[in-house]
Homo-oligomer: A and B are copies of this chain.
Amino acid sequence: MKDIPSDTDLILICVTDSAVKEIAGKVLNTSAPIVHTSGSLPINVLSDVTDNAGVFYPLQTFTKGIRAAQLEFPVCIEYTNNTVRDLLLHLGNLVSNTVVALNSEKRMHLHVGAVMVNNFTNHLITKVYDYLTAQEIDTDLLLPIIEETLQKIHTAPPSKVQTGPAARGNREIIKKHLALLENDKELHNIYSVFSKSILRYYSANEK
């Protein structure tokens, strides 16, 4: 990649994590900032290659063919100098009202958190839907409680609004539920891990 035009303002590398470093190494003869968009790659995979390195990480989940319902989401940026910072701030402000500077380590922690609240929540609901569908129960019945759970987060910290058998320390219901799930090892395991964690969390906090 020798033919980078001399008036290039920014080189944005949007590829899978494992390919970023290699691609960046092939970008030669340019003083334009080189920026990646990964939540989990440190900035130094680029700063090894250029003095003008940056990160532009949009914290949202995108699915091909599905329009995002939330048009507003944060963009996390990182930079090796003020020129790159100003460029990324400008770019970020074009698409978001929340542009925050985060170093590589914090961005990685935030990425783990995002994976858990997004991917794991979605998978949990997938597994529950499959389970109810197998029992011939309309999964739409769960939509209001799913929405309520998420709406509440805007009103109060989640730890303060925890409900359910484990939060109440009701081990009898937990046992009953585990028996119901006996044929689905994964859901059984998920139920068990969460109930133990909730039991521990709320009995510890009571002390």
A61 at the interface (CB under 8 A from B): yes
Give me the interface of A with B, judged by CB distance under 8 Å.
Answer: 16-18, 40, 59-63, 66, 68-70, 72-74, 76, 98, 100, 102, 106, 108-132, 135-139, 141-159, 161-167, 170, 172-173, 176-177, 180-181, 186-187, 189-191, 193-194, 197-198, 200-201
A114 to B173 CA separation, bound complex (whole angstroms):
13
A69 to B138 CA separation, bound complex (whole angstroms):
22
A164 engages B119 (CB within 8 Å): yes
A16 to B165 CA separation, bound complex (whole angstroms):
11
A63 engages B117 (CB within 8 Å): no
Task: Kindly identify which residue among B115, B117, B118, B142 contacts A113, using a CB–CB cutoff of 8 Å.
Answer: B142
A198 engages B123 (CB within 8 Å): yes
A202 to B110 CA separation, bound complex (whole angstroms):
24
Q: How far is the CB of A42 from chain B (nearest CB, A)?
A: 11
- Contacts A63-B161, A158-B129; A153 near B149 (Cβ below 8 A): no
A50 to B56 CA separation, bound complex (whole angstroms):
66
Task: Kindly identify which residue among B76, B118, B159, B193 contacts A190, using a CB–CB cutoff of 8 Å.
Answer: B193
